[in-house]
Amino acid sequence: MASWACQFHADLELETLARRLNERGAWRWVVGDSAWWGDHLRTRPADGVRVRIFSPAEADGARAERLGPAAAAGGSAEPSGPPYEYVAQFDLDATDAAAVQAIHDTFHRLLAAIGASEPRVCETWD
């Protein structure tokens, strides 16, 4: 299994981000809510591929609510205003380099198409 994460910034709130990503047509994004990720976007662009986009502040708030304030360690439950910080978490059942690269390249083209900035690899949120 291959897993990695990418942090980026966008001037779009989560629901607007979903709409803009869906307008680009590469993958179909849906808005979800969970105790682990908080409000987030998710897509399954192919068998064995899962991608989630979430706000670290929202995820910290969801964890604090579930596990108590110590779990968030200084995180806030509300994202600040634009530009918003997001993390995209990628989980692929496949581990071959070509499959990983194809997902990576498609996602970075989507980020460029929506005007996202400062994409960089970051720690996964397991």
CB 12 within 8 A of CB 84: yes
* Token reading at 55: 């706000």
The reply to whether 71 falls in a domain is no
Predicted confidence at residue 61, as pLDDT, reads 62
- Rounded Cα gap, residues 72 and 17, in angstroms: 25
Rounded mean pLDDT, 26-49: 92
Query: How many Cβ atoms from other residues are within 10 Å of residue 113's Cβ?
Result: 14
Predicted confidence at residue 87, as pLDDT, reads 95
Q: Is the pLDDT of residue 15 over 70?
A: yes
What is the pLDDT of the chain when averaged over all its residues?
84
Q: Is the pLDDT of residue 113 over 50?
A: yes
In the chain, the number of structural domains is: 1
The reply to whether 66 falls in a domain is no
Predicted confidence at residue 30, as pLDDT, reads 97
The reply to whether 114 falls in a domain is yes
pTM, 2 dp: 0.82
> Residue 45 sits in a domain of what CATH number?
3.30.310.180
Query: How many Cβ atoms from other residues are within 10 Å of residue 20's Cβ?
Result: 17
Q: Give pLDDT tens digits for 51-96.
A: 999 998 877 665 545 444 444 444 444 556 678 999 999 999 987 8
The H-assigned helical ranges of 1-126 are 14-24, 56-67, 97-113
| Helix, strand, or coil (residue 69) | helix
Predicted confidence at residue 21, as pLDDT, reads 96
- Give the confidence band of 37 by pLDDT, cuts at 50, 70, 90: confident
The reply to whether 73 falls in a domain is no
Query: How many Cβ atoms from other residues are within 10 Å of residue 78's Cβ?
Result: 9
